[in-house]
Amino acid sequence: MKERRIFDYVRDVDSILIMNGGENQTDKTFFYLTGAKSGIFEGSALYVKPDKIKIITSQLEEEAAKETGLDVITFKTAQEKNDIIKNLFEKCINIGLNYSAVTLDMYKDILKIIPDKEFMDVSQSILESRKIKENDELKNIKEAAKIASDSFEDFTKTLHEGMTESELAANVVYSMMKNGASGESFSTIVAFGKNSAIPHYSPGKAKLKKNDFVLIDYGALYNRYCSDTTRTIVFGKANDEQKEIYETVKKAQHDSMIAITEGINGKNIDKIARDIIDSTKYRGRFIHSLGHGVGLDVHDHPALSPNYDFILKNNMVVTDEPGIYVTGFGGVRIEDDVIVKKDGYEEITSAPKDLIEL
């Protein structure tokens, strides 16, 4: 049970209050604990004990809340919600709050609703719990990864000279949703030619030309869980420089990925890829960390970084995404999602990785 695991990390609280704000202020922990597949749940809350969860929500979300199988308490007005929260937590002494997801205004409201209580920050405990994925989470992430992988051939077929980056980005999202995604897990990156040297580029009106690099960083959302994949292809015939960059990145990913297993430090995985790239003329052109956690957030937590000690554990999900970026020329990134296992790893994205020339 996810709620029990959170309490295992912090034993000096007797209850946890998860509060959602308005638009863009919903706490992903709400969905982590409830498994709610439908609904937005703005302004909703959770009463969490080690063996019990109650959903406090408006009538608008009542049916979506009942689908979870958890206890549901509905309110009609803000005052009703406040009274419900006050009564539920009345006998609690130490109450945990996810400080990382609570705004100052929300915190002030909580102090008014349940005054004279001891509040403790359990955000780190929640983060630690979310790093290890349970079977239902792995199932959702695998499906998100499969949808993204299955969509690759669909949207690459739409490439044609003169199309814009934005047009291809729209085709990527359409293909994923056609294949079962509820949406994109983040804003799709499509970069043509020299624009591919910008890792977090936003697609625009640049038009596709023959022999351009085409970098596509995309992910599917399935039951609120994310996948994250990047592929770089050449629209036309790759020149020697493009081939050299591509094969260097491909080797960096392969050699680092086969070293992934439970118990190894993510910093050491990053070093494998970085050393390969830095042993070539592209030294210093790998300008970001090798990988991050994936889950309800596409960047769920740090994982494979040159400056971060992070011990990999069974059933974590991380990305492996080395890249080389040459300003004015272009860049290559290859990214896949990997489940850490006790004796290795499981790669769950499967779009082709040999250099594709279209």
The verdict on 309 and 172 lying in the same domain is yes
The predicted-structure confidence for 83-109, as pLDDT tens digits, reads as follows: 999 999 999 999 999 999 999 999 999
Indicate whether 9 pLDDT > 90: no
- 11 pLDDT tier (thresholds 50, 70, 90): confident
What average pLDDT score do residues 310-316 get?
98
What is the CATH number for 43?
3.40.350.10
The verdict on 83 and 180 lying in the same domain is no
Give this prediction's pTM.
0.96
Q: Are strands 71-75 and 52-58 parallel, antiparallel or unpaired?
A: parallel
Torsion from C-alpha of 355, 216, 167, 243, nearest 10 degrees: -30
pLDDT at 244: 98
Does 354 map to a domain? no
Q: Are strands 229-235 and 52-58 parallel, antiparallel or unpaired?
A: unpaired
Indicate whether 291 pLDDT > 80: yes
Q: What is the DSSP letter of 100?
A: G
The verdict on 167 and 242 lying in the same domain is yes
The verdict on 144 and 249 lying in the same domain is yes
The verdict on 25 and 165 lying in the same domain is no
Q: What percent of the chain has pLDDT over 70?
A: 100
The verdict on 70 and 143 lying in the same domain is no
Does 297 map to a domain? yes
The predicted-structure confidence for 212-226, as pLDDT tens digits, reads as follows: 999 999 999 999 999
What does the alpha-carbon distance between residue 179 and residue 75 come to, in Å, rounded to a whole number?
A: 37
The verdict on 240 and 326 lying in the same domain is yes
What average pLDDT score do residues 98-126 get?
95
Mark which of 81, 99, 131 sits at the end of a domain: 131
Indicate whether 18 pLDDT > 90: yes
pLDDT at 222: 98
Q: Counting Cβ atoms within 10 Å, is residue 264 exposed (0-12), middle (13-18) or buried (19+)?
A: middle
The predicted-structure confidence for 21-38, as pLDDT tens digits, reads as follows: 988 899 999 999 999 999
CA distances from 312 to 148, 267, 301, 340, 348 (A): 25, 10, 12, 7, 17
What does the alpha-carbon distance between residue 227 and residue 243 come to, in Å, rounded to a whole number?
A: 27
Torsion from C-alpha of 172, 173, 177, 182, nearest 10 degrees: 140
Does 70 map to a domain? yes
Q: If you average pLDDT over every residue of the chain, what do you get? A: 97
The residue whose two tokens read 């492996």 is 320
What does the alpha-carbon distance between residue 127 and residue 9 come to, in Å, rounded to a whole number?
A: 10
The verdict on 109 and 242 lying in the same domain is no
The predicted-structure confidence for 240-256, as pLDDT tens digits, reads as follows: 999 999 999 999 999 99
The verdict on 141 and 239 lying in the same domain is yes
Where is 64: in which H helix or E strand? helix 62-66
What does the alpha-carbon distance between residue 73 and residue 57 come to, in Å, rounded to a whole number?
A: 6
Q: How many separate domains does the chain show?
A: 2
State which residues form the domain around 151.
135-347
Strand partners of residue 340: 345
Yes or no: say if 305 and 270 are a contact pair by the CB < 8 Å rule: yes
The verdict on 167 and 288 lying in the same domain is yes
Helix (H, G, I), strand (E, B) or coil at 268: helix
Mark which of 88, 106, 131 sits at the end of a domain: 131
The verdict on 158 and 105 lying in the same domain is no
The predicted-structure confidence for 48-96, as pLDDT tens digits, reads as follows: 999 999 999 999 999 999 999 999 999 999 999 999 999 999 999 999 9
Sign of the CA dihedral with 96 first, then 99, 100, and 102 last: positive
